[in-house]
């Protein structure tokens, strides 16, 4: 019987389970047995695996996380670990390996592909920092979760006249903060793509307060500054209470949105198409709303295209709101 392996690597993202179910369903349709490697590349290197069926996957379609577990595995960068993975792949006589993960997972998949494994990758990362695809699985849900959290916190901040600083995930990519900030009507957005000094952010808060905005909201992407230190400086500068909140792992959990489920289904089908047509060494990507297959080398070299139009939209809305506040006061 033909066999494929599946694993989820790196941080989990909502929609992984929906994608896994799609792959398993299609595999069974074409008489493939599916072997899941538990916990990502570590499971592959250490031969920790089990056969999974559509019955196993049925319970998890609408749930966040990964039912076959995920994780980062630093030793996998070493050649010894790669060779162990090759041995496991050959041991089970796999016809292909489908990996769900982010940019680091693609690089590892490329190394495995060079060793002779037949690998296909599906981009799953809430950070949306796989640049060969316009959207990665989990991003839409993460933004929705971040917006809901910020909206809820803003209600009590406005009631008490406090400044809010909300930090989102994103690693070194500002996609979550940009989208969440715009959709939660933040007054100030700080992202790596548009670097601003702490002093400028403090001045921007002051401009909002002077314009009559008693409770400005700052949304920023992680790893740029210490938000508690920023809150303290704002309080010292304006004698205004300021709360710093890390939105955190609420962004990763929960039921995937319809958009993420649809993307997960489409990419799962695309990955199985690659397997059936022996089109290996590719990242399944969404390009202009079509599923395309991008070779690993091109996917790794793909450059980030920041959405300048979205940033300009934010600036225009910010200008309009500030002018409106001034007139009202």
Residue numbers annotated as active site: 127
What would the 3-class secondary structure string for the chain be? CEEEEEEECCCCCCCHHHHHHHHHHHHHHCCEEEEEECCCHHHHHCCCEEEECHHHHHCCCCCCCCCCCCCCCHHHHCHHHHHHHHHHHHHCCCCEEEEEECHHHHHHHHHHHHHCCCEEEEEECCCCCCCCCCCCECHHHHHHHHHHHHHHHHHHHHHHCCEEEEEECCCCCCHHHHHHHHHCCCCEEEECCECCCHHHHHHHHHHHHHCCCCCCEEEEECCCCCHHHHHHHHHHHHCCCEEEEECHHHHCCCCCCHHHHHHHHHHHHHHHHHHHCCCCCEEEEEECCEEEEEEHHHHHHCCCCCCHHHHHHHHHHHHHHHHHHHHHC
Q: Which residues contact 306 (CB under 8 A, 6 or more apart)?
A: 174, 193
Rounded CA gap, 110 and 292, in Å? 18
Rounded CA gap, 165 and 217, in Å? 6
- Report the phi/psi class of residue 7: left, alpha or beta, with left for phi > 0 and alpha for psi in -120 to 50: beta
């Amino acid at each position: 019987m033909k066999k494929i392996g599946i694993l989820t690597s790196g941080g989990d993202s909502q929609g992984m389970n929906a994608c896994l179910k799609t792959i398993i369903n299609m595999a069974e349709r074409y008489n493939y047995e599916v072997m899941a490697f538990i916990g990502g590349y570590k499971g592959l290197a250490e031969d920790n695996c089990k056969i999974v069926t559509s019955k196993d996957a049925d319970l998890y379609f609408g749930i966040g996380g990964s039912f076959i577990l995920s994780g980062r595995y630093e030793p996998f960068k070493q050649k010894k670990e790669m060779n162990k993975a090759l041995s496991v792949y050959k041991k089970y006589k796999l016809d292909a390996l489908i990996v769900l993960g982010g940019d680091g997972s693609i690089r590892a998949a490329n190394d495995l592909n060079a060793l002779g494994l037949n690998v296909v990758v599906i981009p799953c990362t809430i950070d949306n920092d796989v640049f060969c695809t316009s959207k990665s699985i989990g991003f839409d849900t993460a933004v929705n979760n971040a917006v809901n959290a910020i909206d809820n916190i803003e209600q009590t901040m406005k009631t008490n006249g406090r400044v809010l600083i909300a930090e989102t995930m994103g690693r070194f990519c500002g996609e979550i903060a940009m989208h969440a900030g715009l959709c939660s009507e933040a007054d100030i957005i700080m992202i790596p793509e548009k670097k601003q000094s702490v002093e400028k952010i403090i001045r921007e808060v002051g401009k909002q307060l002077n314009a009559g905005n008693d409770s400005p909201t700052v949304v920023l992407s992680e790893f740029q500054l210490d938000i508690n230190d920023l809150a303290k400086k704002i309080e010292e500068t304006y004698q205004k209470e300021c709360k710093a909140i890390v939105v955190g792992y609420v962004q990763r959990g929960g039921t995937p949105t319809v958009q993420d489920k649809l993307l997960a289904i489409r990419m799962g089908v695309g990955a199985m198409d690659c397997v059936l047509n022996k089109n290996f060494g590719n990242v399944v990507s969404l390009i202009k709303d079509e599923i395309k297959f991008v070779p690993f080398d091109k996917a790794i070299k793909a450059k980030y295209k920041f959405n300048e139009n979205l940033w300009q939209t934010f600036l225009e809305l910010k200008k309009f709101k500030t002018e409106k506040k001034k007139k009202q006061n």
